[in-house]
Structure 1
Amino acid sequence: MKSKKQLIFLSLAIGLLLMLVKFIAYFITHSNAILTDAAESIVNVIASSFAFYSIYLSSQPKDQNHPYGHGKVEFFSAFVEGVLIIIAGIIIFFKSIYNAFYPQEIKDLFDGSLLIGLTGLVNGLLGFYLVNRGKVLNSLTLHADGKHLLTDAVSSFGLMLGLLVMAFTGLNWLDSLISMGLALYIISNGYKLMRLSVGGLMDESDVNIVENVIKQLSINRRPAWIDVHNLRIQRYGDAIHIDCHVTLPYYFDLNKVHAEITDIDKIINENVANTELFIHTDPCVFQCCHYCNVENCPVRQEPKTKEIAWDIDNVTKNHKHFEVI
């Protein structure tokens, strides 16, 4: 968690510095497009500040009021960042329309484009680093902040090219057009970030994690694990909560059941980072016999006639496998 705080603090400090550089570029050139980029930097700083607080809060231990921890705040942080991005984009878009009818004198475009290109390079490198660290640390906040910075870098490079075109051609009316295009790009990325955060807050299933869990269970499958069903996964920040039902032979005693469940828990925790597993055990019924792999079963009613592979369709259903095949 200390690493997350350091990374987001680095993002905040660099964001403040780049915001200052962009406003200097605006005062040099009086370009509305540069003001657009500078205004988005204000959003970057606000978003990074909120992200820093969310990482601090998500690091707090579980308590009586938050038995699953505080990790969900990271989804809320990403949602707020998305909203701020969209608001900034809308304001920028309408200001661009205003300046199309009431343009300002633009000057020193070469100097302005150089400063904007420099900020784009720094944001791109930092954004790429944060996205990768966010994946490693399972942090949506770092991932979202990195994506935001990459968006800012792309818009800055696009702006730099536009400024150079204006400098060579003298077509200053492109200033408002470029600004409007950047605003639409910013709004689009804000929406994507909001969509991602809402999915997390609504416990939308992460297909990649579900498939990885099923893969690990299939690779390490044992004959006594007759089927696995009602698999559900929730994310709380970097923590992954998994619950499922496992069908075991009904004649297993409690110690044997506990041993099998402990082995499943160990397999998942060794192969899926930072998981907490809750397993409900179901006793087998005679309808399971035709796909049960237990050899020399003392209560088998019919021979095994079918092999049922575990996949996302049957493992996530709330039924034993003979009910969904």
Structure 2
Amino acid sequence: MGAGFYFIPGGGNNSLSHDVIQDINTVKTNTAKLSVASNSLLVVLKLAVGWMSGSVSIISEAAHSAVDLLAALIAFVAVRKSGKEPDAVHAYGHGKIENVSGMIEAALIVLVSIWIVWESVDKLRSPQPTELVGYGMAVMLFSAGVNWWVSSRLQTVADQTHSHALAADALHLKTDVWTSIGVFLGLVAMKLTGLTWIDPAIAIVVAAIIFKAGWNMTWNSLYELTDISLPHHERDLIHDILATHPEVVSHHRLRTRRSGSLRQIDVHVLLDPGLRLDRAHAICDQVEAELESQLGSCDVVIHPEPAGSHERERSKES
């Protein structure tokens, strides 16, 4: 086994890996559909009550839900496209589509927050009484409850499948939960005190929360699009797994990145030069299986080298 030989372990389980990947994509797609349905309902309710009552905070929440709906549609398309098999043009798969969708969703969040501030400042300059406050309070409570349940479901599936698109969608809806509660409390305060400026003031607070969420999401998506390495604790886990195999003398050139829900790992391992090729292959298969067990979906490339070859090459160079 020469120093230049490499292979991708696990080649004998392609059908099983394909079935597992398809199951994951089905779960992700169905969960994305749930978000689309719930946001569609909330947009209609909030817009109806917002326009009838004249409340800028309720209308801002309708705009927030409209962005959530668009984000849910983007996430739905992203998880379907990202699950496509690699092809001649995309040899590493289509996982980055999820990261791109996260960037688009983040940009939408930032834009809608700016629009809410613009409308709220105009309402502060010329305050108008808000009608049907009770209906607005009821819609806000209903919205908070629905989004809490859907966001929890999205986050659970995102954690299980490591889906960036679903995690971004869950963040949208979690933000909507707290902004809905904020608008509800503002409507309660306005009903009790009769102070009309409370409504646009609450809307500005909502916009600030939305903007912060969008800003954080932008940076998270940007980092992964620039092929940043996996987090320190995940790289440490890779080192630990390799260290548990006595046949692995050492390893080097560990490279990692994330593409959508797929972790891509590339590493050189130094093995006992006396090992048979089939035994070396079995060790690499076992390492790959342990990595997938601990980290989830992985695309692992292991480059085995005979122990001592790396040091000999370095001594020649020096």
Q: What TM-score do you get using the length of structure 1 for normalisation?
A: 0.83
The 5 A counterparts of 1:303-322 are: none
1:63 Cα deviation after fit? 0.5
Match of 2:169 in 1: 145
Aligned equivalent of 1:157: 181
Matched residues in 1 for 2:289 and 2:83: separation?
24
- Does the 8 Å CA contact 2:267/2:301 hold for their aligned counterparts? yes
Q: Does 1:236 align with 2:259?
A: yes
Instruction: Measure how far apart 1:131 and its partner are.
Output: 0.7
Deviates more, 1:106-115 or 1:9-18: 106-115
1:213, 1:272 within 8 Å by CA — same for their partners in 2?
no
- Residue pair 2:228, 2:258 contacting (<8 A) in 1 also: no
Q: Does residue 1:56 correspond to 2:50, yes or no?
A: no
- 8 Å CA contact 1:216–1:271 kept in 2: the answer is no
Match of 1:76 among 100, 120, 126: 100
Structure 2 residue 286 is matched with structure 1 residue 263? yes
CA contact (8 A) 2:161 2:296 kept: no
Determine the structure 1 residue equivalent to 2:239.
214
Q: Is the 8 A contact 1:71 1:236 kept in 2?
A: yes
Is the aligned partner of 1:118 residue 2:139? Answer: no
The residue number in structure 2 matching 1:276 is: 299
Please list the CA deviations of residues 205-227 of structure 1 after superposition, one character each: whole Å capped at 9, or x if unmatched: 22143233233333x331x3121
Count, aligned residues = 287
Cross-structure match for 1:27: 51
Alpha-carbon distance between aligned partners in 2 of 1:266 and 1:186, rounded to the nearest angstrom = 40
Please tell me whether Structure 1 or Structure 2 has the larger radius of gyration of its CA atoms.
Answer: 1
- Distance in 1 separating the partners of 2:75 and 2:292: 28
Helix, strand or coil at the partner of 1:276: strand
Q: What is the identity, as a one-letter code, of the residue corresponding to 1:236? A: S
Question: What are structure 1's unaligned runs of at least 5 residues?
Answer: 289-318, 320-325
Tell me which residue corresponds to 1:107. 131
Matching residue's letter, 2:242: L
CA contact (8 A) 2:110 2:214 kept: yes
Deviation per CA, 1:185-243: give whole Å up to 9, x if none.
Answer: 1000001111111111112222143233233333x331x31212222222222222111
Structure 1 residue 253 displacement after superposition: 5.3
Q: What is the rounded CA distance, in whole Å, between the counterparts of 1:176 and 1:153 in structure 2? A: 18
Bigger CA drift: 253-262 or 127-136? 253-262
Q: How many percent of aligned residue pairs carry the same amino acid?
A: 29
1: CA distance between counterparts of 2:274 and 2:240?
Answer: 28
Distance 2:310 2:104 in 1: 50
Structure number with greater CO (CA < 8 Å, separation at least 6) is: 2
How far apart, in 2, do the equivalents of 1:79 and 1:256 lie?
Answer: 45
Task: Give 3-state SS (helix, strand or coil) of 1:246's partner.
Answer: strand
Q: 2:238·2:291 contact (CA, 8 Å) conserved in 1?
A: yes
- Contact 2:268 2:305 (C-alpha < 8 Å) held by counterparts: yes
Q: What is the letter of the counterpart of residue 144 of structure 2?
A: G
Instruction: Report the alpha carbon displacement of residue 285 of structure 1 after superposing the two structures with TM.
Output: 3.3
2:34–2:150 Cα contact (<8 Å) kept: no
* Distance in 2 (alpha carbons) for counterparts of 1:112 and 1:286: 72
Tell me the alpha carbon deviations over residues 282-301 of structure 1, each in whole angstroms, 9 at most, x when there is no partner: 3433998xxxxxxxxxxxxx
CA contact 1:12–1:48 (8 Å) conserved in 2:
yes
1:98 is displaced (CA, Å) by 1.3
* Structure 2 CA distance for aligned equivalents of residues 183 and 62 of structure 1: 40
Q: Report if the CA contact (8 A) 1:25-1:116 is conserved.
A: no
Q: Secondary structure at the match of 1:226?
A: strand
Bigger helix fraction: 2
The answer to whether the Cα contact below 8 Å between 1:131 and 1:146 also exists between their aligned partners in 2 is: yes
CA shift, 1:4, in A, is 1.3
Deviates more, 1:138-147 or 1:272-281: 272-281
In structure 1, the residue matched to 2:250 is: 227
How far is the alpha carbon of 1:260 from its aligned partner? 3.3
TM-score where L is the length of structure 2: 0.84
User: How far 1:255 moved relative to its partner?
Assistant: 4.4
Residues in 2 aligned to 1:85 and 1:159: alpha-carbon distance in whole angstroms: 18
Residue 4 (structure 2) aligns with: none
SS of the residue corresponding to residue 61 of structure 1 reads coil
Note if 1:186 corresponds to 2:210. yes
In 2, the alpha carbon distance for the partners of 1:53 and 1:269 equals 26
Do the aligned partners of 1:28 and 1:112 also contact (CA within 8 Å) in 2? no
Per-residue deviation at 1:267?
2.8
